[in-house]
Amino acid sequence: MTQSVAIVGTGNMGGGMAANLLSQGWGVRVHDIDRAKVDALVAHGAVAAATPGECAAASALTIVCVVDAAQTGDVLFGAGGVAAAVPAGHTVMLCPTLSPQDVESFSQRLAGMGLQAIDAPMSGGPARARDGTMSLMVACADAVFHQHGSLINTLSSRVFRISQQPGDGARTKLVNNLLAGINLVGAAEVLALAARMGLDLERTLDVIEQSSGQSWIGSDRMRRAIAGDYAPRAHVTLLQKDTRLAMQAAQAVGFEGPLGAAARDTFARAAAAGLDGLDDAAIYQLFKR
């Protein structure tokens, strides 16, 4: 491609997207506070940049793939940030799971500087980011969507066009992640119950996977839990954040439900119990205790 893409934040998902784009022949510039992650991508053809602004300045579009709103704000508007380094018309794709209000605020502030925003939270995990099959929930103006359609379709074979209003992608992602949190808490609870009953956990999960209790996240995480594998792919803190943001979004529209609050509180308990740095399969440990 004649134009390069900037990716700020090259962790599990950002690194996966960078690897995918490089394999498809795109030029990719990368920045991350973890130099080892940058170096791993440079070895495959990426160009390293010292700051987010330097990363974005020579690129047609900047993908922001950091953890939260505070980091996103720093990347966009902090010292060495993107917004001050790029020309009018530059597009910023916001991929973290953020509150709708934060997405709207970032988008409006970028628009005031002559920049375009794509609200594009993602789902599916690092392997699907690498092979281009992750889900993208896209909310932006139609003109911006069509302008960057080739890139969007390279990033994801499962693009969901949510609306033209930035913030709606975030709302969709929070609804999805709240259900993921509810399903994971439920799977961990019933596996802990099965253990207390003296059942074989592998066989029990075999039954669940072929029956009405099946959920993808339950199967994925509980297989790891049974194996005692808590090396972090998705830290407990991520669903702790996402379920909290989802319940704040629910409160903002006057909605109350029993399960979302229970999931939020369970992830908060797990973090307080010292499981925050582990894979979110460690929710099982909370119930097992």
Q: How far apart are CA 151 and CA 128, in angstroms?
A: 16
Set 37, 173, 241, 288: catalytic member? 173
Q: How far apart are CA 275 and CA 267, in angstroms?
A: 9
Query: Exposed, middle or buried, 218 (CB in 10 Å: 0-12/13-18/19+)?
Result: buried
Per the listing, tokens 């509980």 go with 222
Torsion-angle region of 233 (φ positive above 0: left; ψ -120 to 50: alpha; else: beta): alpha
135, β-bridge pairs: 123, 158
| Catalytic-residue membership of 173 | yes
Helix (H) or strand (E) holding 249: helix 236-252
Q: How far apart are CA 250 and CA 244, in angstroms?
A: 10
What are the start-end ranges of the E strands in 65-115? 91-94
Q: Which residues are catalytic?
A: 173
